Amino acid sequence: MRCHYREKIYVCGDYMESHIYPVFRKAGVRRKKARPSRECQKKLNQIRRENNCIRIAHANFREGDMRIDLTYSIEHHPENDEQAERELTNFLRRVKRYRKKKELPDLKYIAVTEKGKKNGRYHHHLIVNGELTPQEIVRLWGRGYVRTDALQFNENGIADLVRYILKKPAVSKKGWNASKNLIHPQPKERDGRLSAREIKELAKDTTNNREYEKYYEGYYLSGADIVYNEINGGVYIYTRFYRKEASFCAALNRTKRMNR
């Protein structure tokens, strides 16, 4: 069975992902894939779910945007999942109307509704575009305690935040929902740029930044994940990069100059 490696590249603002995976085919059969093992597929599915949400977050949110955590006071606590979701929907509508009244850009958001395992208390975790103050958010919520934080980007962007809220015990089967006006990055594909030998060399050491970066000019490596398919011997590489001129890098450089 013949094999070549395909590369999918997603550019998301200051960040980029590269997915490299094998495509198998028999002689005379065009691009027929061999299925990964069940355990391998579970790992791949989890990585894909997380990466999809991370890509959307990086493509749509910037410095100046914020994270919001919403909780309920005792008298306003929802009785069930449906009521909790309805409360969140109503809050988002209030925010949309308020932003329109102030002539601000349309609301963008990613949201997760969580139900605590121990106490059964409902919470909402959101990533939203900015322009509103914490005090305005508190008034618009009006159901309990509010925590707001400015988004802080680093080499991994806000990937750690996205993974954190996705691992919460979510009410929705999908795990998260989002506004319809978000950008969904589309991949660019290319085949055969890296040989099987080069792929296996890269997979040996995910901390060898220089080896990875030589294939992606203008970017620094922030991390890599490797998954091996024990059935067909395929190697799956998921790499994450950030631009050398990313906005958070410029902010760090300004801080260093001021502290000299």
The secondary structure of 225-250 as a DSSP string is EEEE-TTT--EEEEEEEEETT-HHHH
Residues with Cβ within 8 Å of 139's Cβ and at least 6 positions away in sequence, in order, are none
pTM of the model: 0.82
* Same domain, yes or no: 140 and 215: no
Cα 179-184-148 angle, rounded to 5 deg: 45
CATH number at residue 136: 3.30.70.1910
**DSSP state letter for 26:** -
CB 21 within 8 A of CB 55: no
* Same domain, yes or no: 128 and 196: no
* Same domain, yes or no: 141 and 92: yes
The answer to whether residue 54 scores a pLDDT higher than 90 is yes
Residue 175 lies in a domain: no
pLDDT at 1: 57
User: What does the alpha-carbon distance between residue 6 and residue 73 come to, in Å, rounded to a whole number?
Assistant: 51
- The boundaries of the domain holding residue 221 are 2-36+186-258
Residue 144 lies in a domain: yes
* Same domain, yes or no: 28 and 93: no
Question: Confidence class of residue 256 from pLDDT cuts 50, 70 and 90?
Answer: very low
Q: What percent of the chain has pLDDT over 70?
A: 88
Residue 71 lies in a domain: yes
For 153-175, the pLDDT digits (tens) are 999 999 999 999 888 667 876 78
Residue 179 lies in a domain: no
Residue 73 lies in a domain: yes
pLDDT at 179: 97
| Least confident range of 62-76, 138-152, 182-196, 246-260 | 246-260
Q: Considering 103, 131, 150, which residue would you say is the last residue of a domain?
A: 150
The answer to whether residue 33 scores a pLDDT higher than 60 is no
User: What does the alpha-carbon distance between residue 136 and residue 247 come to, in Å, rounded to a whole number?
Assistant: 27
pLDDT at 119: 86
User: What does the alpha-carbon distance between residue 16 and residue 212 come to, in Å, rounded to a whole number?
Assistant: 13
Residue 243 lies in a domain: yes
Residue 212 lies in a domain: yes
pLDDT at 46: 73
Residue 9 lies in a domain: yes
* Same domain, yes or no: 205 and 140: no
Instruction: Quote the number of domains for the chain.
Output: 2
pLDDT at 257: 42
